[in-house]
Amino acid sequence: MNDPVEFSGELIGWHDPDENRRWVRENKSRQLADKRTTVAEAIRKYVPDGSLVAVGGFGHIRVPMALIYELVRQRKRDLTVVCNPGVHDIDILIGGGCVSRVDVAYAFGHELRGLSPCGRRAVESGQVKVTGEISNAGYQWRFLAAAMGVPFMPVRSMLGTSIIKHSSARVIEDPWSGKPICLVPACYPDVALFHVHRCDQYGNAQIDGILADDFELARAARRLIITTEEIIDHEDIQRRPWRTVIPFYLVDAVIEVPFGAHPTEMSVAYYFDEEHIAHWLKVSKTPEGTIKYFEEYVFGMPDFESYLEKVGGLRKLTHLKQVMKLQPDSTSSRDGAS
Amino acid sequence: MIEEPRYNLTELLACVAAGLLEDGCSAFVGTGLPIVAGMLAQRTHAPGLLIIFEAGGIGPHVPVLPISVGDSRTYYKASAASSMHDVMSASQAGYVDYGFLGGAAMDCYGNVNTTVIGDWSHPKTRLPGSGGGNDVGSLCWRTIYLMRQQSTRTFVNKLDFVTTPGYLTGPGARERAGLPAGTGPYRVITQLGVYDFNEATKRLHLLVLHPGVTAQQVQEASEFEIFIPDRVAVSPEPTVEQLRILREIDPRGMVIGK
């Protein structure tokens, strides 16, 4: 075995499996009930200050932005956010002052678009605390353990690195092979936010394209808020039940929000709004610019529809759909790969 | 006589990286230069290259450069659009031959830091962290690193943080830590040349120099000593055909323009 390791990462989102079973029994309805509500009501009801929040999608993909903006609008505070990875979502939430702690697989960056000025400013100044490090697969396997109702998952990554020391993982000897194995503890976020392609009024949800870790996260989180491009009839779900990625009993709130992932990508439906993401990366270089962004795009907007109008309306959204389909530009916009 | 160079450094690195990928192999790629290299290999000598993306894209024929790892382009004409659990498990189970990564800093055993410069609790510079990097570097058979800026600040004696495991402290250390046996860094490609790792010491070893680069430049751009053999090969220059394909892959120069 290795040298003894001193573990310093904080254990985030863990529950004893029996405690969580009891919680599920008492709090999660098995009724096929209509869960339609509004974005404002869902956030008010299911995301109290201090919650542990996880976000579906992946990086700039299928991020539930209407819900993210609403957290900022309602001035939620002291959230701990699972960054599995966290990209545009965590950046907006940090910029909006909602976050005090982050648990990091990936954060403070925008992939090819560069590092995040706002997230880095917050963590380097101490405004936001990093509770621990982990890898992307490590986090998704924490969710898998929670989804399975087991206390941990054995994994073969992260071994031998500094991540282990700054995580809530442990290393033990595999009783069969005798080799060291990393155990990642189950993680049950208080609430997870998703944007899906379609679901019924009960929350049975279909997702097109890659799932990233949404299958596991949806089963790990205690509360689920789902925004959807479209609410469809329950009969449409029943016609192809094998398409259901998230079954209704996991879901607490359903809201129809067309283009609810803007400016991130909605898999196979519409592409990134590179113009808007670039604008955010530019203005968030200063605290003043960040505040102004939220005044303009969140506090100054009565609802998400008004926001969509402001970012370019139908013309812009049609363009983003065309870019997704690899159709030639019909506008002069500077948007990404087309 | 001075001629305008036919290609830039990024194009050279893309061609060198593509050359390492064999037809019929599987490779985990990220955005940026790794996917450009994967796409180039697939469109030239390795049409049967199985490209895999961390968010679940399996076996795509990527039409144009994706911006994100989960971008819809990453499963265009793919065999499957799956999940992170699926592809990460596949790599843990031994199905993934190559992993392509970048890094902010590396030591002589190929360990990499992408987490923090300075003290972890009070970082001087906070970087994004592992993402899928640690998983790729832990679980794929062979890891290839692309680092555009080799210098004494990026090839260092001691890392502030080991995010992704190379050979850790030397021979046998990966296995002792419990990482899958027989895995580890395979090649490191920088703006100066290509490196492999000495079988006995697991230390970085110069293999190939890029055109016009000297062994002395390689040593000067590293805090640790790099073993330099007497005879070193030179990277082939990109062909006209490779350059044409690269400009087709990335028409806006998002990666190759840099």
pLDDT at residue number A335: 41
Q: How is A39-78 classified by DSSP, letter by letter? A: HHHHHHHH--TT-EEEE-SBTTBS--HHHHHHHHHTT--S
Flag whether pLDDT at A296 surpasses 70.
yes
SS3 of B213, please? coil
**Cα–Cα distance, B234 to B137 (Å, whole number):** 27
Q: What is the pLDDT of residues B139-170, one digit of tens each?
A: 999 999 999 999 999 999 999 999 999 999 99
pLDDT at residue number A338: 33
pLDDT at residue number A287: 96
Instruction: Report the percentage of chain B scoring pLDDT > 90.
Output: 91
pLDDT at residue number A278: 95
Q: Tell me how many degrees the CA angle B231-B13-B225 measures, rounded to the nearest 5.
A: 45
Instruction: Please give the ipTM for the structure prediction.
Output: 0.95
Q: Which residues of B touch A175 (CB under 8 A)?
A: none
- Give a yes or no: residue B132 inside a domain: yes
Residue A313 to residues A158, A193, A317, A332, B70: CA-CA distances in angstroms?
Answer: 45, 25, 6, 15, 25
Token pair of B25, please? Answer: 């192999």
Q: What is the pLDDT of residues A192-232, one digit of tens each?
A: 999 999 999 999 999 999 999 999 999 999 999 999 999 99
Q: What is the pLDDT of residues B171-229, one digit of tens each?
A: 999 999 999 999 999 999 999 999 999 999 999 999 999 999 999 999 999 999 999 99
pTM for this predicted structure:
0.95
Give the helix, strand, coil percentages of chain A, each rounded to 5.
35, 20, 40
Flag whether pLDDT at A337 surpasses 50.
no
**Cα–Cα distance, A70 to B213 (Å, whole number):** 54
Flag whether pLDDT at A7 surpasses 80.
no
Task: Point out the least confidently predicted range of A235-239, A328-332, B66-70, B146-150.
Answer: A328-332
A286 backbone dihedrals φ, ψ, rounded to 5°: -125, 150
The closest CB to that of A105, out of B130, B174, B252, belongs to B130
The closest CB to that of A136, out of B84, B122, B165, belongs to B84
Q: How many CB atoms are located within 10 Å of the residue A43 CB?
A: 25
Flag whether pLDDT at A77 surpasses 80.
yes
**Cα–Cα distance, A65 to A121 (Å, whole number):** 22
Residue ranges making up the domain that contains B173: 9-246
Which residue from A minimizes the CA distance to B180?
Answer: A156
pLDDT at residue number B257: 86
Q: What is the pLDDT of residues B62-93, one digit of tens each?
A: 999 998 889 999 999 999 999 999 999 999 99
Catalytic residue among B4, B11, B22, B54: B54
The closest CB to that of A163, out of B66, B163, B179, belongs to B163
B65, A337: Cβ pair inside 8 Å?
yes
Q: What is the CATH number of the domain that holds B76?
A: 3.40.1080.10
A156, B54: Cβ pair inside 8 Å?
no
- Give a yes or no: residue B252 inside a domain: no
Q: What is the pLDDT of residues A108-146, one digit of tens each?
A: 988 888 889 999 999 999 999 999 999 999 999 999 999
- Selected for mutation to probe chain B from A88, A112, A267 (highest B CB count within 10 Å) is A112
Flag whether pLDDT at A333 surpasses 60.
no
- Give a yes or no: residue B35 inside a domain: yes
In angstroms, the separation between the Cα of residue B114 and the nearest Cα of chain A is 10
- Give a yes or no: residue B3 inside a domain: no
Q: Which residues of B touch A216 (CB under 8 A)?
A: 83, 85
Residue B3 annotated as catalytic: no
Q: What is the pLDDT of residues B8-35, one digit of tens each?
A: 999 999 999 999 999 999 999 988 899 9
- Give a yes or no: residue B54 inside a domain: yes
Average pLDDT, chain A: 94
Flag whether pLDDT at A4 surpasses 60.
no
Q: Which residues of B touch A179 (CB under 8 A)?
A: 175, 178
pLDDT at residue number A3: 47
B69, A59: Cβ pair inside 8 Å?
yes
pLDDT at residue number B2: 56
In angstroms, the separation between the Cα of residue B42 and the nearest Cα of chain A is 19
* DSSP H helix total and E strand total for chain B: 7, 14
Strand residue runs (E) in chain B? 26-28, 50-52, 57-58, 80-81, 98-101, 105-106, 112-113, 116-118, 123-126, 142-147, 184-190, 193-197, 204-209, 233-234
CA distance between the termini of chain B: 26
Q: What is the pLDDT of residues B111-136, one digit of tens each?
A: 999 999 999 988 999 999 999 999 99
Q: What is the pLDDT of residues A12-52, one digit of tens each?
A: 999 999 999 999 999 999 999 999 999 999 999 999 999 99
**Cα–Cα distance, B174 to A295 (Å, whole number):** 51
- Give a yes or no: residue B115 inside a domain: yes
Q: Is the peptide bond before A175 cis (omega within 30 degrees of 0)?
A: no
Token pair of A130, please? Answer: 């990093």
Instruction: Report the percentage of chain A scoring pLDDT > 90.
Output: 90
Give the residue among A97, A40, A101, A89 at the shortest CA–CA distance from A63: A89
- Give a yes or no: residue B91 inside a domain: yes
- Selected for mutation to probe chain B from A63, A84, A110, A135 (highest B CB count within 10 Å) is A135
Alpha helices in A97-253 (DSSP H): 117-125, 136-148, 162-165, 214-220, 234-239
A156, B73: Cβ pair inside 8 Å?
no
pLDDT at residue number B103: 82
pLDDT at residue number B5: 65
Q: Which residues of B touch A338 (CB under 8 A)?
A: 64
How many separate domains does chain B show?
A: 1
Which residue from A minimizes the CA distance to B114?
Answer: A106
- Give a yes or no: residue B147 inside a domain: yes
A58, B138: Cβ pair inside 8 Å?
no
Q: Which residues of A touch B183 (CB under 8 A)?
A: none
